[in-house]
Amino acid sequence: MNDRLTVVGGGIGGLTAAIAAAETGWAVRVLESRDRLGGRAWTTDGPYRANWGPHVVYGDGPLWRWLDDRRLTAGVASAPRLPRVRVRCDGRSRRPPVSLFLAVRRLNRADAPVDRTFRDWARDEVGERDADRLAAYLGVATFDHDPGRLSASFAGEKVGSTLI
């Protein structure tokens, strides 16, 4: 048996595959085109941090548990809890409007179709203003430049799981 494995790509998938293979006795080599590992799962340097891509390792998710089981999370800091959430809404910084939470609750109870855009479906369900606000918010949750054009079924799941 050939007990050597070459993994192309040092992103989350490649590193996970390499570690899992090494744990079962394979001699693993990882090839990465960049000068750092992590793929799109990295955070910018400096006083203001931003995630580079859509890959996030949540502290309560399965990937975190997998990493923690291997003692790979030591020294990782978690984000501080914010005492008050503020959003940019109607051109100013403010607390999220109550209507937005009511709209999310209503959308979570409705069946979101696969064959309609999120924006069109949400406008029918909660009105144009809240639908447009939620579509704009989904840009953060989906890393998409126009999430209102996405399937209502797909984007509707993101609204419920990330806003409330």
Q: For 131-153, write each residue's pLDDT tens digit.
A: 998 998 888 777 788 889 999 99
What backbone phi and psi angles, to 5 degrees, belong to 93?
A: -85, 130
Q: For 5-51, write each residue's pLDDT tens digit.
A: 999 999 888 999 999 999 999 999 999 999 888 887 777 777 766 66
The domain spans of the chain are 4-69, 87-162
Work out whether strand 92-94 and strand 87-89 pair parallel, antiparallel, or are unpaired: antiparallel
Q: For 91-119, write each residue's pLDDT tens digit.
A: 888 888 888 889 988 998 899 999 999 99
First to last CA, the chain: 51
Measured CA to CA, the distance from residue 9 to residue 13 in angstroms comes to 8
